[in-house]
Amino acid sequence: MQTHEIRERFTDHFVKAGHTAVPSASLILEDPDLLFVNAGMVPFKPYFLGQQNPPYPNGTATSIQKCVRTLDIEEVGVTTRHNTFFQMAGNFSFGAYFKEGAISHAWNLLTGSLADGGYGLDPERLWVTVYLDDDEAAEIWEKKIGVPAGRIQRLGMADNYWSMGVPGPCGPCSEIYYDRGPEHGEEGGPAVDDTRYLEIWNLVFMEKERGEGTGKDSFEIVGDLPKKNIDTGMGVERVAAILQGVDNVYETDLLRPVIDTAEQVTGAKYGAEHASDVRFRVIADHSRTGMMLILDGVTPSNEGRGYILRRLLRRIVRSARLLGATGETLERFMTVIMDTMTPSYPEIADSRERIIRVAVTEERAFLKTLESGTHRFDEAAAKTRDTGAKTFSGEEAFTLHDTYGFPIDLTLEMAAEAGLDVDVAGFEAAMGEQRARAKADNKAKKHGHADESVYREWVDNSPTQFVGFSELTADARVIGLVADGVSVTQAGAGDDVEVILDVSPMYAEAGGQLGDRGRIVTDGTVLDVTDVQKIGKRLWVHKATVLSGGLDLGQAVKVEVDPDWRHGATQAHTATHLVHAALRQVLGPTAVQAGSLNRPGYLRFDFNYTEQLTPAQLEEIALITNQAVDSNLAVNTIETSLEEAKKMGAMALFGENYGSEVRVVEIGGPFSIELCGGTHVGSSSQIGPVAVLGESSVGSGARRIEAYSGMDSFRHFSKEAALASGLAASLKSPTEELPERISQLTEKLKAAEKEIANLHRQQLAAQGGELLNQAVEAGKFTVLTHRLPDGVSGGDLRTVATDLRGRLAGKPGVVVLAAADGDKLPFIVGATKEAVELGVKSGDLVTLLSGYVDGRGGGKADMAQGSGANPAGLDAGFHAVREELAGR
């Protein structure tokens, strides 16, 4: 049974049982605890905590959630059970049914016949575990389902009590295991051997809320959840391995094709030896995880989610090279994994080009880094041999790992080729210190679920009615006041307070658009509202200062949006849609939105793209955007279902968890169609001019466009015009001729600078005779080592070195020059033909000198250059060069 069918049978089973099918959320959600969604219940957390009422008719739902867990990336492939990406099929009940319902649903699907839509598993091969004191669950399994008592085992908190690892929902659980047979381990059930007995489904009876604590079993239970809930998770990949009759998840229809491709690319064979098999599994696992992360908008970077993606992609490249690959590999791996995953995730088809572009760009950058790391290794290995040692430093091995991305196995292999051992213990010690720092940092960043309990009652029972799409003022009643995180009944002049209203025309910050500014007024009372935030997507919290009078709970008030603020914000937000549409026209569909910010008169738009935009592209984007403004395109909003919106071609934002009903903003028919909950102008001409300021990089594979809209755009253009007029007056040239006039002046300046540089080089060359007087004899060689005055560039060094080497022609001479140039120390080594014939290699001398000045470099035997960062080591480096030559 193919994985796609396994997914379909799961969803059909629970839909027939009255559950609402919920699409997988993005791997990226706004959650303070998580880099990525790591469990099927994460998108439903507000319902479990009681912060929101679930929008499902029967109080039940089912989903197949994309998940990524990256705590133990190094363990991937070492065993065959661990994946960084996996699909968690789950069913959820928010007070509708509890233990018996969850157990019955799972058992019926697993053991039901294929003809009836089940998986057809042999019930005699299924074992279950329950929490130590959960007699209720044990009795349901034995009395209601018929599982023999001998196949029901009780385990402790570490195994059968579930939580997210941070404060939040938790509860005892019951796990279902499949006996894979005696060839996989010893008898005795999962309590004895959880390799033979493979866990396939976890049923969590979520009824408690946990507090702070560490580990799986050392936290406090702080209370009951509002309702007894069910959260289950069935591992799709593990069930696929069982139903497809293969040994592990890497042999299934989703991952085995990548391994087959890796065999073709590398020439190695899967199954030949454990070390190679680990590398094959790393390639397969990380290719899928990397592809899914790119699909959901992640781009490689040096922090957060982007760092995880970068690390995964580089591990693929390293593993492929260690298996024998010599060229680029990621495009082939990504193509295969997209083919296997598209049946379950059709949206991949629209992102294939973008996914390949991001992956290949990262691979090419890493291959250059790999080259630099190899150079660092060669230098360190040479130093090791020069000292007579046979062991490569563990600290140096860690530097290669941490700075250059070298895995220890690559360093071990290269060291063996160089005739060296590696201080693995020293490397592990350095790695241990890094892990401890990372663990402490990670612990510091885990805050648990933000305490929003003070708002819970209003979220559940009195959500705010937003009327701001059509109104800028509204009559409302104060239904809540919060000060310093505590519910209060009144606020006086000078107080900062959060005001909760039953009705509000003020937009709460979302989708990149900042919250509205405005006032809340009543007889003798004025509050200045400086921000509006949304709690649980249902409650508007107005952050305000009481300017005069006082406010009481239950008081009737008038709410007024600052019309200028709203006008400017709607102009900027609608302009963002136009810029996005123009961007995709110019760059193609691979330029996908990665974030935005809109405030009155200004917009910032981030998008996934790997190349810097040209001036011509920017000009075209600005032209298309302003043509759309000039065309007075109608701006329409449509309330519809998520499925209908997708059929319309509406684009969705990464990281947003959309409900079943969505709002589509359509501008000019097909020109721009996006899912958006923001406020917008009535027609595009109301935006006014849009001034595209430029674009910049915000990380690997991510770019940013900034622009002004409306009057801010007009003011920008006015300043630019004034600047141009001022330049025209200064240069005594008409404005339209400024580019040519400035170009002429620039050419004159370059010519003057070139003439000065020539004079400078002539002056340096004239000093050559004096410098040669400082040359010394070192064995068979005449050697000149000299530091020239600061500010001499690398190019000038080469000119002087070439001249001095020519003056030494006819005898074995070596010239070594250096000069501080800003924060760099360029240096050069030149050798005469006679010196080269005696075995001198300028590149080797550059490498030797580099070690003393924290530098690097290279070149040919007769001339080589480098650059360092530590001028203090120069004299010692010069001495080392002379000693090296004297000893020949």
**Residue ranges at the known binding site for Zn(2+):** 573, 577, 676, 680
- Residue 94: how many other CB atoms lie within 10 Å: 25
Eight-class DSSP state of 388: T
Query: By C-alpha distance, which of 827, 829, 828 is closest to 871?
Result: 827
Cα 331 to its chain centre, rounded Å, is: 20
Residue with tokens 């760009």: 361
Stated as kind and residue range, the H or E segment containing 592 is strand 592-599
State the first-to-last Cα distance of the chain, in angstroms, to the nearest integer: 72
Distance CA 82, CA 260 (A): 19
Binding-site positions read 573, 577, 676, 680
Q: Two tokens at 622?
A: 């600005």
Q: Which two tokens stand for residue 779?
A: 């064995």
Contact 827, 868 (CB under 8 A): yes
DSSP letters, 504-568, are E-SPPSBTTBPPP-EEEEETTEEEEEEEEEEETTTEEEEEEEEEESEEETT-EEEEEE-HHHHHH
- CB 455 within 8 Å of CB 538: no
| Helix-helix angle 304-323:352-386, to 10 degrees | 70
Residues 6+ apart with CB under 8 A from 751: none
Q: What residues are paired with 539 via a beta bridge?
A: 535
CA angle 605, 606, 608 (to 5 degrees): 140
Q: How many CB atoms lie within 10 A of CB 108?
A: 15
Structure tokens at 134: 């959960």
Please report the beta strands in 549-701, taking only residues with DSSP state E, as ranges in sequence order. 550-552, 556-561, 592-599, 602-608, 635-641, 661-667, 672-675, 690-697
- Which residue is it, tokens 């919250």? 515
Query: Of 839, 844, 790, which is closest to residue 816 (Cα–Cα)?
Result: 844
Tell me, what amino acid is at 185?
G
User: What letters, b where the CB count within 10 A reaches 16 and e where it falls short, cover 726-752?
Assistant: eebeeeebeeeeeeeeeeeeeeeeeee
89 vs 239: CA distance, rounded Å: 11
Question: Where would I find the beta strands (DSSP E) of 56-99?
Answer: 60-68, 85-94
How far lies 45's CA from each of 50, 216, 539, 594, in Å? 9, 19, 17, 24
Dihedral sign of CA atoms 177, 182, 184, 188 in order: positive
Query: For 666, phi and psi rounded to 5 degrees?
Result: -115, 125
